[in-house]
Amino acid sequence: MAAVFPLTGVIRPYAWGSRTALADLQGRPSPSDAPEAELWLGAHPGDPSTVDGVSLATLIENDPKGQLGTEVAGEFGVRLPYLMKVLAAAAPLSLQAHPDADYAKIAWAAQEAGPDAPKNYTDAFHKPEMLVALTPFEALCGFRDPAESASALEAFGIERLSPVVAALRTGVNGLSEAVRTLLTWPADDRAALVEEVVAAGTSPLAVSIAGFYPGDPGVLVALLLNHVRLEPGEAIWMPAGNLHAYLSGLGVEIMAASDNVLRGGLTPKRVDVDELLRVLRFEVLEDPILPATPVSPGVVTWKVPVREFALFKYELGTSTPPLSLPPAGPRIVLGTVGDVYVAEAVDGTPVEVTPGTAAYIPAGTGAATAAGLGEIFVAAVAS
């Protein structure tokens, strides 16, 4: 199958989703009837996108060489190795981290072999992630300087937080102890502790998060992380072991196609503290913002050390000639601004891509171009 096709994604209605952001992006009535959290674009078995009503996962299974290309199928098997999303957060997501590739394989195998093992993993793959903001976007990403965190907690004037403050004063080596102490805080004192933190009034971030998750010790764990404010076009990168949470905003997210999530608070779901601590990287992330790298006029990318995916942003103006898209492998094109037409490079029938809609380019199509007036994001397998 060699052509470019409209791709229909699936919207997931998680409770933290916005009732306006995705609807506004796609030009639908707003607000929506229910929260709309993520638009999934890919072949993940949880919610595969469709081409002419046929699951993209089925198309790949039936024709891996034509859909993925020989190289991608040989490296990753009969699966699209990335998942693209448009994420719309109206409330904070859970604190979370993801295992690295080697540990994911080991942990998945151990879980499958032991019927009584905790069910922390859904597959054998890692899940590095990157997000590029479409609107002003707030997130927590990676540990900040423990001395800053110690000062923030000390400012609450809560004596029973002294052991956490003392651990943080020892530097990076005390981060694990601080996180464990907070996440295993006595259940009968959690609500009171968070209420005292809010009453102290020294941390607007804690006050805001506690409004969504009263009594959750993740409110204090959040204060150990970098509070990141992204402008449109800025990105954050979350490799394995990075503790993070999205707080608010609309962004394009790309990740390795996995559902392996270890939560660390800000959630009613189960938190396996021991397993989370095994996965976390206890290191300071000095600058969470990932700079864009120019590729060619009108095209930028964000360099990350993974093979599963690459993400490009194309800006097309009134005088912009047709721009070449990544030339190989399976590609997904997402519209975010204006009207853009995607087609095979030679005599292709163009597919219109408008904000919140997408197109799919199988590997067998080969070279493709984008023309028009607007902005698109293109997901591909890293070359």
What is the spatial distance between Cα 77 and Cα 357, in angstroms, rounded to a whole number? Answer: 27
Tell me the C-alpha distance between 166 and 184, whole Å.
Answer: 17
CA 315 to CA 334: how far, in whole Å?
Answer: 12
105 neighbors 123 (Cβ within 8 angstroms): no
Enter the tokens of residue 159. 């004596």
How many CA atoms within 13 Å lie on the side-chain side of 85? 24
Catalytic residue flag (residue 19)? no
- Picking from 86, 76, 87, 71, the residue whose alpha carbon sits closest to that of residue 126 is 76
Pairing of strands 137-143, 225-230: antiparallel
Half-sphere exposure of 218 (CA within 13 A, CB side): 28
Answer yes or no: are the C-beta atoms of 282 and 143 closer than 8 Å. Answer: yes
Q: How many residues does the chain have?
A: 383
Could you identify the residue written with the tokens 């046929």? 54
| Identified catalytic residue from 28, 263, 270, 331 | 263
Distance, in Å, from the CA atom of 229 to the CA atom of 222, rounded to the nearest integer, reads 15
Task: Please tell me whether the peptide bond between 31 and the residue prior to it is cis, using omega within 30 degrees of 0.
Answer: yes
Active site (catalytic) residues = 263
